[in-house]
Amino acid sequence: MSGHIKVYNFMGLRKLATIFSLLLLLVSIGSLATRGLNLGLDFTGGSLVELGYEKEANLNDIRSQLEGAGFDGAVVQTFGAPTDILIRLGSDHDPKLGDKVLAALQQGDDQNIELRRNEFVGAQVGEELREQGGLGMLLALFMIMLYVAFRFQFKFSVGAVVALGHDVLIVVGFFSLFQIEFDLTVLAAVLAVIGYSLNDTIVVADRIRENFRKLRKESSMEIMNISLSQTLSRTLITSVTTLLVLVALAVFGGEMIHGFAIALLVGVTVGTYSSIYVAANALIMMGICKEDLIPPPKDDQEAVDELP
Amino acid sequence: MLNRYPLWKNLLIIFVLLIGALYASPNLYPEDYAVQLSGNRDIHQVDQPLMDTVTSALKREGLIYKEVELTSKSGLIRFADGETQLKAKQVISTVLGDNYVVALNLAPTTPEWLENIGAGPMKLGLDLRGGVHFLLEVDMATAVAQRLDVYVSEIKVKLREDKLRYRSVTHREDGSLEVKFADAAVRDKAQSLVRKDYTEFLLQTEDTDKGNFLIVTLTEQTTRAIEDYAIKQNLTTLRNRVNELGVAEPLVQRQGRNRIVVQLPGVQDAAAAKRIIGKTANLEFRLEAKPDASRGLTDTYEFRNEPGRRGVLEKDIIITGSSVSNAQSTFDENGQPQVSITLDSKGGQLMGRTTRNAIKRRMAVLFVEHKARTLIETVDGEQVERRIPYVEKKIISLATIQSVLGSSFRITGLDGGGESSELALLLRAGALAAPVYFVEERTVGPSLGAENIAQGVTSVQIGFALVLIFMLAIYRVFGLLANIALCINLMLLVAVMSLLSATLTLPGIAGIVLTVGMAVDANVLIFARIKEELKNGLPPQSAISAGFDRAFTTIFDANITTLIAAVILFSMGTGPVKGFAITLSVGIVTSMFTAILVTRALVNLTYGNRQLKSLSI
């Protein structure tokens, strides 16, 4: 069975991989603890104004103009293009804020400035979204664990959830380390990473289960290596196609979904790695053996019946 | 062996594809710039003569329109471009005046036969077409307190009728009522009386040296009912107001227990929209107090336009703005703005009865507004918003009653034409049952929306092209088949989204891009299996069959778990996240159909009917 495919000794590197994963996690947790997340307007509450300039805008000029007009503590940055300016202000609410900011900046400038976007999120709403987001993530992990435990076996579900937790932490840690803004769309991306990474992990787990039932002589370690080698080309091809579209999204999708694309790029890369090294590694650590999968449910038989 | 699908399976696939193509097709027709007309009252119908007036006015101005449509309630005029549309709106508004709502709209150009089978294009979210999004919070505490006030006067009347002497009825901090009695026996009688008539109260007694108290608390159920009523009332009023604003396809929807979402596509002036939507303006009509009236029966208010000047009014309210059935802003003989008001029959009766005995006295119109101050406090190192609601009542006019007033009269003494038309609008649309506060606001300019669409479409196209090329390079003929399946998948995704009239947002487009990337996964799994089976020595036809069969459980499990994540995302998410979750969920389902069934059918068609010596995969 395995003779036709080159078997790579993935598990031979498992100690190194464990150290590597722990290192990544340590950096992520450390960064989250010390630097925290650069939460977007959705989660912090406050006001945001996006302006379009005709020519390249000078951030320092804008800052001093705003200060002169009485907008203290304004955060000014470019958004995608040097002519596109994003201004974030504290949480006082004013329906005419956008127009006021525009008027204040238009005064000292002969070029035409366009009000592109104006957002306000109440502090209360922001806090609720933060809570809901965390809750949703936990719920998703729990439901998936339940499903995997039901379809596979308990050890597999622990392995899958460990891999997912690993991926989510590293993606969030990445956003913390580089202080990239974390908003609602990024949260959606993180949940999509859960979906993607899981997809990968299930495919590998499926093969591990199959091989445990089919190959009687080989050790657990060998079965892992065979299964991972068999699924390797599929894992890589799917990752490449997904990464291709994500790169397209990151490059051409515009600034509004840049964070989203970045989160998924990191997530898919880490997810690919984790389905090879984290989920399988966790199974070995929990001492997965043939007995765990016996008596085998009549899966193959079912599969044929279920086929449309 | 040969790989062939039974006829019914092929027919089923063709059927699904045809249906998909049919429902996806409306998205190919570009939308027209249009102006929509509707009457703001039932008496102002949009009919053929009116449309003729409008079209002749457009012709006079040299504005070319494409088509005029008239339905039972509204009219629609289509234009070739946005510039003409904006000019035309100006012209039409001037011609029709106050009685009609003239709104900008993007009208789908779906052919009638497609519309008849329920097909239509996907809706675009605010981030793609520009517009304003508001999240309003309804002040429930005030809604409940207002209702309690009604109960206070009812209880007082009841006790008086039964000659049960009470000392006072007061509100407590926790929202309950406290009725004070001189002795316990009377209190107990009062308790059984109230218990008999009101099931919505929880009654408790309290005896202290200060007196004997009856504590009246609303049951949880009643509080809920009051809150529900307040939300529903507010929704109705907000819908009326939004309609008056003249926005095409607005969305006014409850969210959670005490919030309301308002989305106004295409609206750019957020401040103006907010002024109208959030206003809890109401009117009260009261008589001026007689000079000898006792203090307890009067209230003193400031004039709205003359700070410092005050008027003393009776506490009794004749009618409020809720009795107003119609209001129009007009100008009087001197060119001063005024509001002509028509009352409903009950309001007219009350007004007539009161004014009959009050000729030559003066009547005041009070302008009532619920407002709130927002304080930012620092509690435990965290910034906390605190809103302190207050009611502002000011006199807008105080005029001598010349004769008995009936159900129609005028209010003068207003500031400029803008205020009178705004007041008329608010009176027509009705008052909010409870004050609302803005807790979220998002405005997206139209140019940004257009840019978002352009960038979204570009990234879908490029991502799609990259995947197609990659698959072709890796799997050759099988890659081509997978690519055809992928195109069909995209079509089905669009068809399902259109059929559900789901809203396409920017994160939704990102979801499509991601689906494109992930959809090939199922095919990759199948092809990898076929390759493996070939290496294991199976003949080509058996390898194809085994590859599809063996990969099925894997694909199924992998997709179900992703679907779980997507459904959770949908149920807990708001706005943008929901848009992403919808495309992702729909994409998972359609990709399973295309990757498994359609690809299999294509493979069967290509290879299934002949003996193969080898397979290039």
A198/B565 Cβ within 8 A: yes
The pLDDT tens digits for B75-118 are 888 988 878 887 888 888 788 876 677 777 778 888 888 888 88
pLDDT given at position B194: 85
pLDDT at B73 over 60: yes
Instruction: Please report the DSSP string for B483-505 in residue order.
Output: HHHHHHHHHHHHHHHHHTTPEE-
B471/A241 Cβ within 8 A: yes
- Residue B1 domain-assigned (yes or no): no
Question: Are B461 and B417 in a shared domain?
Answer: no
Look at the block and give the residue holding tokens 């409870």.
B434
pLDDT: is B517 or B563 the higher one? B563
Q: Which residues contact B114 (CB under 8 A, 6 or more apart)?
A: B22, B25, B26, B120
Q: Which of residues 452-511 of B touch A (CB under 8 A)?
A: 452, 455-456, 458-459, 462-464, 466-467, 470-471, 474, 506-507, 509-511
User: Residue B309, SS3?
Assistant: coil
User: Among residues B89, B75, B90, B92, which one has the least CA distance to residue B37?
Assistant: B75
Question: Are B172 and B38 in a shared domain?
Answer: no
pLDDT: is B595 or B329 the higher one? B595
Cis peptide upstream of residue B111 (ω within 30 degrees of 0)? no
Question: Are B329 and B477 in a shared domain?
Answer: no
pLDDT band per the 50, 70, 90 thresholds, residue A168: very high
Distance CA B196, CA B164 (A): 15
pLDDT given at position A251: 92
A152 secondary structure, DSSP code: S
A238/B520 Cβ within 8 A: yes
Among B222, B246, B265, residue at a domain's last position: B222
* Cβ–Cβ under 8 Å, residues A208 and A280: yes
pLDDT at A306 over 60: no
pLDDT: is A26 or A120 the higher one? A26
- Residue B272 domain-assigned (yes or no): no
The pLDDT tens digits for B321-369 are 777 777 777 777 777 788 888 888 888 888 888 888 888 888 888 888 7
B507/A260 Cβ within 8 A: yes
User: Among residues B260, B265, B153, B168, which one has the least CA distance to residue B214?
Assistant: B168
Partners of residue A264 in chain B, C-beta under 8 Å: 514
- Residue B237 domain-assigned (yes or no): no
- Residue B288 domain-assigned (yes or no): yes
A123/B374 Cβ within 8 A: no
* Alpha carbons within 13 A on the beta-carbon side of B268: 11
Largest CA distance in chain A: 81
Partners of residue A247 in chain B, C-beta under 8 Å: 463, 466
pLDDT at A59 over 70: yes
The pLDDT tens digits for B10-38 are 999 999 999 999 999 998 888 888 888 87
pLDDT at A200 over 60: yes
Over residues A17-32, the mean pLDDT reads: 95
Distance CA A234, CA B288 (A): 85
pLDDT given at position A93: 58
Residue B269 near chain A (CB below 8 Å)? no
- Residue B212 domain-assigned (yes or no): yes
**Chain A nearest CA to B345, separation (Å):** 39
Residue A285: C-alpha distances to residues A66, A243, B557 (Å):
58, 30, 24
Question: Are A95 and A176 in a shared domain?
Answer: no
Question: Are B22 and B36 in a shared domain?
Answer: no
User: Which of B262, B448, B453 to probe the A interface (max A CBs under 10 A)?
Assistant: B448
pLDDT given at position B164: 83
Task: Indicate which CATH number applies to the domain containing A69.
Answer: 3.30.70.3400
- Residue B129 domain-assigned (yes or no): no
pLDDT: is B268 or B66 the higher one? B66
Q: Retrieve residue B315's tokens.
A: 């506490």
CB pairs under 8 A between A and B: 255
Question: Are A211 and A93 in a shared domain?
Answer: no
pLDDT: is B361 or B513 the higher one? B361
Residue B139 near chain A (CB below 8 Å)? no
- Residue B255 domain-assigned (yes or no): no
Question: Are B467 and B588 in a shared domain?
Answer: yes
Distance CA A58, CA A63 (A): 9
pLDDT given at position A23: 96
Question: Are A173 and A222 in a shared domain?
Answer: yes
Task: Indicate which CATH number applies to the domain containing B154.
Answer: 3.30.1370
pLDDT given at position A26: 96
Question: Are A80 and A198 in a shared domain?
Answer: no
Over residues B244-271, the mean pLDDT reads: 80
Question: Are A173 and A95 in a shared domain?
Answer: no
The Cβ of residue B534 has, within 10 Å, a number of other Cβ atoms equal to 20
Partners of residue B516 in chain A, C-beta under 8 Å: 245
pLDDT given at position A305: 45
Instruction: Return the ∠ at Cα B207 (arms to B203 and B209), rounded to 5°.
Output: 150
- Cβ-count burial of B364 within 10 angstroms (0-12 exposed, 13-18 middle, 19+ buried)? buried
Query: CB-CB: which of A123, A184, A238 is closest to B383?
Result: A123
The Cβ of residue B15 has, within 10 Å, a number of other Cβ atoms equal to 11
pLDDT given at position B591: 92
Question: Are A262 and A115 in a shared domain?
Answer: no
The pLDDT tens digits for A62-78 are 888 888 887 777 888 88
Question: Are A211 and A90 in a shared domain?
Answer: no
Instruction: Return the ∠ at Cα B89 (arms to B87 and B94), rounded to 5°.
Output: 100
Partners of residue A243 in chain B, C-beta under 8 Å: 517
Instruction: Return the ∠ at Cα B486 (arms to B503 and B535), rounded to 5°.
Output: 145
* Cβ–Cβ under 8 Å, residues B397 and B304: no
The pLDDT tens digits for A269-284 are 999 999 889 988 999 8
pLDDT given at position A308: 44
Distance CA B105, CA B498 (A): 19
Residue of B nearest to A140 (CA): B565
- The helix-helix angle for A154-177 and A123-151 (nearest 10°) equals 150
Distance CA B160, CA B154 (A): 10
pLDDT given at position B156: 80
Question: Are A93 and A238 in a shared domain?
Answer: no
Distance CA A57, CA A63 (A): 11
Question: Are A29 and A79 in a shared domain?
Answer: no
Q: Which residues contact A7 (CB under 8 A, 6 or more apart)?
A: A225, A226, A229
pLDDT at B494 over 90: yes
* Cβ–Cβ under 8 Å, residues A192 and B580: yes
Q: Which of residues 409-438 of B touch A (CB under 8 A)?
A: 438
Residue B314 near chain A (CB below 8 Å)? no
Question: Chain centroid to CA B252: how far?
Answer: 2
pLDDT band per the 50, 70, 90 thresholds, residue B440: confident
Partners of residue A125 in chain B, C-beta under 8 Å: 135, 439-440
Q: Which residues contact B15 (CB under 8 A, 6 or more apart)?
A: none
Residue A248 near chain B (CB below 8 Å)? yes
Question: Are A32 and A89 in a shared domain?
Answer: no
Look at the block and give the residue holding tokens 């807990």.
B572
B550/A245 Cβ within 8 A: no
User: Residue A45, SS3?
Assistant: coil
Question: Are B203 and B326 in a shared domain?
Answer: no
Partners of residue B584 in chain A, C-beta under 8 Å: 192, 195
pLDDT band per the 50, 70, 90 thresholds, residue A107: confident
Residue of B nearest to A303 (CA): B553
* Cβ–Cβ under 8 Å, residues A196 and A268: yes
Question: Chain centroid to CA B40: how far?
Answer: 19
Question: Are B565 and B466 in a shared domain?
Answer: yes
Q: Which domain holds residue A80?
A: 46-121
Residue of B nearest to A251 (CA): B459
Question: Are B12 and B68 in a shared domain?
Answer: no
Among A78, A105, A121, residue at a domain's last position: A121
Partners of residue B261 in chain A, C-beta under 8 Å: none
User: Among residues B524, B574, B295, which one has the least CA distance to residue A231?
Assistant: B524
Q: Which domain holds residue B415?
A: 280-429+436-443
Kindly report the length of chain A: 308
Percent of chain B beyond pLDDT 70? Answer: 92
pLDDT band per the 50, 70, 90 thresholds, residue B416: low
Question: Are B22 and B38 in a shared domain?
Answer: no
**The pTM is what?**
0.76
Residue B552 near chain A (CB below 8 Å)? yes
Task: Indicate which CATH number applies to the domain containing B77.
Answer: 3.30.70.260
How much is the CA Rg of chain B, to the nearest whole Å? 34
Largest CA distance in chain B: 114
Task: Indicate which CATH number applies to the domain containing B355.
Answer: 3.30.1360.200
* Cβ–Cβ under 8 Å, residues B58 and B88: yes
Q: Which residues contact A260 (CB under 8 A, 6 or more apart)?
A: A185, A186, A188, A189, A249, A253, B507, B510
pLDDT: is B378 or B252 the higher one? B252
Task: Indicate which CATH number applies to the domain containing A229.
Answer: 1.20.1640.10
* Alpha carbons within 13 A on the beta-carbon side of B31: 17
What is the C-alpha end-to-end distance of chain B, expressed in Å? 19
Partners of residue B514 in chain A, C-beta under 8 Å: 192, 242, 245-246, 264
Residue of A nearest to B457 (CA): A253
The pLDDT tens digits for B467-476 are 999 999 999 8
Question: Are A72 and A153 in a shared domain?
Answer: no
Q: Which residues contact A140 (CB under 8 A, 6 or more apart)?
A: A191, A194, B564, B565, B568, B569
Over residues B602-614, the mean pLDDT reads: 85
* Cβ–Cβ under 8 Å, residues A194 and A164: yes
Which residue type, as a one-letter code, is found at position B88? A
Task: Indicate which CATH number applies to the domain containing B548.
Answer: 1.20.1640.10
The ipTM assigned to this model is 0.84
Among A121, A148, A176, residue at a domain's last position: A121
pLDDT given at position A303: 45
B574/A129 Cβ within 8 A: yes
B559/A1 Cβ within 8 A: no
Kindly list the strands in the beta sheet with B282-287, ordered across the sheet, starting from the edge strand earlier in the chain: B319-320, B282-287, B362-379, B382-400
Question: Are B374 and B423 in a shared domain?
Answer: yes
Q: Which residues contact A278 (CB under 8 A, 6 or more apart)?
A: A17, A21, A159, A162, A163, A166
Total number of domains constituting chain A = 2
**Chain B nearest CA to A199, separation (Å):** 5
The pLDDT tens digits for B122-154 are 888 888 888 888 888 888 887 787 777 777 777
pLDDT band per the 50, 70, 90 thresholds, residue A21: very high
Over residues A151-156, the mean pLDDT reads: 87
* Cβ–Cβ under 8 Å, residues B271 and A99: yes
Question: Are A100 and A135 in a shared domain?
Answer: no
B384/A188 Cβ within 8 A: no
Task: Give me chain A's average pLDDT, please.
Answer: 84
Q: Retrieve residue B22's tokens.
A: 């049919």
pLDDT band per the 50, 70, 90 thresholds, residue B415: low
User: Residue B217, SS3?
Assistant: strand
- Residue B262 domain-assigned (yes or no): no
B463/A245 Cβ within 8 A: yes
Total number of domains constituting chain B = 4
A307 secondary structure, DSSP code: -
* Cβ–Cβ under 8 Å, residues B266 and B174: no
B566/A252 Cβ within 8 A: no
Q: Which of residues 114-173 of A touch B (CB under 8 A)?
A: 114-125, 129, 132-133, 135-136, 139-140, 143-144, 147-148, 151
* Cβ–Cβ under 8 Å, residues B122 and B498: yes
* Cβ–Cβ under 8 Å, residues A244 and B524: no
Residue B374 near chain A (CB below 8 Å)? yes
The Cβ of residue B440 has, within 10 Å, a number of other Cβ atoms equal to 25
Kindly list the strands in the beta sheet with B211-218, ordered across the sheet, starting from the edge strand earlier in the chain: B166-171, B177-181, B211-218, B201-208
Among A121, A154, A169, residue at a domain's last position: A121
**Chain B nearest CA to A22, separation (Å):** 26
Question: Are B37 and B18 in a shared domain?
Answer: no
Partners of residue A119 in chain B, C-beta under 8 Å: 441-443
